[in-house]
Structure 1
């Protein structure tokens, strides 16, 4: 994936951030209220207090996203990870995951956690390959969440 670069969010990429996430969520699940809060208003619901959105860029096109949402002292949620369907299975998700982990280390985080659904087999396998382990499910704003994973840094 030499033609993919990982960049940080700029406001002009909000439509791409929303488009890519709505696309993957809609494939198997229902887009929920909390999704729309984050996707419509990342400057309010993701970026404050050290949050960040990483974007995978191929040429002039945004083809993947991953958000790092601060959830407490030294703790970040890896959320809104998506890859354009045409590029899935080609390493874009791994680049985003590794970029998110590197960001967390840069800002001094000690824990990254995520929620997913067991239907997302490829995503869960990717999370395991980069070092996440399953932990007990915590209360979630998402009805689709049926697995929680974390990584201690």
Structure 2
């Protein structure tokens, strides 16, 4: 929030799977705030919250047409993975991140 205006949002969705604790989803930054590092700050806050919740492994799905988002995920430490089933029709990239002590 800045001056009572939301600048960005992101969700952590609990996953009930052996290999991932949460899915990072629905990340968005207001067009008026894009290009100002808000996405990175939001991403760091989400990773910190996930760690506080006891998460060790995060997962996300996206589309490579969203180049700034994909670059942001890489900057946050996510790595491309493959082979998981998805219900998102537009998904053409899956990524994962193992949280280490740096997010405590």
TM-score, normalising length: structure 2: 0.88
Q: Please tell me whether the aligned partners of residues 137 and 146 of structure 1 are also in contact (alpha carbons under 8 angstroms).
A: no
Kindly report structure 1 stretches of 4+ aligned residues shifted beyond 3 Å: none
Which blocks of at least 5 consecutive residues in structure 2 are unaligned? 100-104
* Cα shift readout 1:95-117 (whole Å, capped 9, x = no counterpart): 11101100011011010110000
With 135-144 and 78-87 compared, the bigger mean Cα shift is at 135-144
Matches within 5 A, 1:131-142: 131-142=77-88
Does the alignment pair 1:122 with 2:80?
Answer: no
How many residue pairs match? The answer is 97
Over aligned residues, Cα RMSD in angstroms?
A: 1.2
Larger relative helix fraction: 1
Distance 1:145 1:137 in 2: 12
Give SS of 2:7's match. Answer: strand
Which blocks of at least 5 consecutive residues in structure 1 are unaligned? 1-56
Q: Which residue of 2 aligns with 1:11?
A: none
